[in-house]
Amino acid sequence: MSAPWVNTTEFSINPFSDSIPSFLSSEIRSSEDIFTLNFTADDGFIVYINGQEAGRYLMPTGDVNYNTLASTYANGNPDNGTLSLPISLFKRGANTIAVEVHNNSVSSSDIYFDAALIHKSFTSADANYVCETEEFIMPNSGDLELIACYEKLSEEELAKKEGELNERVTQIMMSIPNIIDDSVPIGKDDSENVEVQRYGEPVVPDFEVPYHTDIMALFDGIDKEAAGRVAGEGFYYLMGDIARLHSAVTAYARDFMIDKGFTYCIPPFMIRSNVVSGVMSFEEMDAMMYKIEGEDLYLIGTSEHTMIGRFIDQTLDGAKLPLTLTSYSPCFRKEKGSHGIEERGIYRVHQFEKQEMIVICKPEDHMEWYNKMWQYSVELFRSLEIPVRQLECCSGDLADLKVKSCDIEAWSPRQQKYFEVCSCSTLGDAQARRLNIKYKDEETGKTQLAYTLNNTVVAPPRMLIAFLENHLQADGSVYIPEVLRPYMGGIDKIVKK
């Protein structure tokens, strides 16, 4: 759109043209250190350089120097004039200059910019500058015209500049949150998450349920004190039957997912920074990830990161989608933020193990898989005779990349409330876009971004907390559900030493 006060035909001159229009001066004013605007105007105008006022044309005729500003605008018939400004004011970085001109009113005026003089002022034996213009209408503040002059670069310099700009664009893109699904409830934080359904009847026993580490201590199954001496807070030793129970739960979860048709994987436990930034937001990275000093490597916070990263810069065969994967890994987290480390217990720690489920699919299939995945979590916990509920995460509780998410929470007889044990999410194409994960549609032949989903299968120690509290007996033993007994050597309970 052309501003009403700009004569675009006369304004849009070629700075490399040998033919300079007659209404423009062909002389550079005073010296190479002065930049000259030649114009006609009936209202005057203001020139801004990088947001700072650099000069005004205020009088009907004559020159107005940057250091000599009058206090009133001129009115009356159009007159010729010149505004002179030091060239140093126009430089933005090493290779760029910019001029912003604000008209004093929206009435008709002609302001002619001598683009040829701009070119001459910024031409040297080894550097060429190209001048371009952009026009804007600024409501309630008059009109704005921008002249940007930039240096013509060599192929090597252009490639470097292109890389810098691409990196900047990527940084901006990664700071933009995903678009949430229409079904996500609106809320400010996790206090406004919505309970959807309960599975299994919560039980409150007629005896006192001890704190979970106290239950473990009954079986000589935990040593936090020694772990504190070795590694500090947020670590623990598991021993004996409690350690065996930990392994049994993860092995059962592995086989449970294999039986659902998922492929079992053991991934790398470290990933490079480009994968980290591809699977999570900067805020999540800062709060979670441990950096390996002197190397471009991070310890994984969940195997989701390394499993999704496996497909970076890959174009998948659409006929082979969805990819359904389940992976085991240790997980390492700083747990920086409002929650922090739980000093007494093992609910929130720096190191733990987890069985994860991952799906990479076509866009049209992601909600179907989202519903399957959280239902798998419910089915697994109910097979272990642990009551759970599904909690729909509200908008304020969604991480930046998530489209939709829900938590599966287990019943705590001791606290007589539910607590999170699984988190199921669809991230749409957010991770795929960052990591360049695409697929080629087998029918149309078109290439497009894949969708990614993830969910916890089990994550001891939280699973252990739910397991021990729900299966503790009055005599101090812990009941072992039938499905877990093959992984516990056939025993049906753990007894105190």
Does 389 qualify as catalytic in the annotation? no
348, 385, 395, 477: which one is catalytic? 348
Does 333 qualify as catalytic in the annotation? yes
423, 433, 434, 469: which one is catalytic? 423
Does 198 qualify as catalytic in the annotation? no
385, 420, 477, 485: which one is catalytic? 420
Does 343 qualify as catalytic in the annotation? no
Q: Are 253 and 467 in contact (CB under 8 A)?
A: no
> What is the torsion angle, in degrees rounded to the nearest 10, for the CA atoms of residue 185, residue 191, residue 195 and residue 200?
160
Does 462 qualify as catalytic in the annotation? yes
145, 414, 462, 469: which one is catalytic? 462
Residue 454's closest CA among 376, 356, 377? 356
254, 333, 389, 433: which one is catalytic? 333
Catalytic positions: 333, 348, 420, 423, 462
